[in-house]
Amino acid sequence: MPTNIAKINENSTALFPYGAANFVILPEEKREQIRQDLLAHSHEMRNGAPDHFKEYDGLKWSLTIDGTEYTIEMKQQLSNNNWQMLVPCYNNPKPVALDHELYVPYLREPASAFGKKTVKLWTTKATTTKVTATKKSLWRMYAADKTRELFD
């Protein structure tokens, strides 16, 4: 059975030698654009085709922040056909997969809901303060409102 990255303990030193995964929090406008793109694509596919397994296939968004390009993309989990969002991290070159319960608060919460934290950047090995989130903080946001969805 394939390993589900989203379920691995976020404190794994093998995956994150610089600590827990510190997700890049894109500006609210970009996260809202991603949410709207997902909504538009879901609506189009729901009304236009019965094949929901290819619903988000190929969706990808990029943004350059402080000279580094960060990309978010949707990937389908082969084990259960669920969609995951691959979100970039400040402290790891590989993006981490977030299940629906976690990518909804990532997209919906205002920037003020995320905290600033000192992180060690994988790109330069420099230590700096960034607005970021961990899986633990995203789980707390999910727990605060389990009924929240992508749509309004």
Residue 18 has pLDDT above 60, yes or no: no
Cα separation, 13 vs 118, in Å, equals: 18
Note whether residue 13 is domain-resident: no
Residue 51 has pLDDT above 90, yes or no: no
Residue range 58-76, pLDDT digits in tens: 899 999 998 999 999 999 8
Note whether residue 73 is domain-resident: yes
Residue 42 has pLDDT above 80, yes or no: no
Question: Number of structural domains, the chain?
Answer: 1
Contact 135, 10 (CB under 8 A): yes
Q: Which domain holds residue 69?
A: 19-143
Note whether residue 95 is domain-resident: yes
Note whether residue 5 is domain-resident: no
Note whether residue 12 is domain-resident: no
Residue 16 has pLDDT above 70, yes or no: no
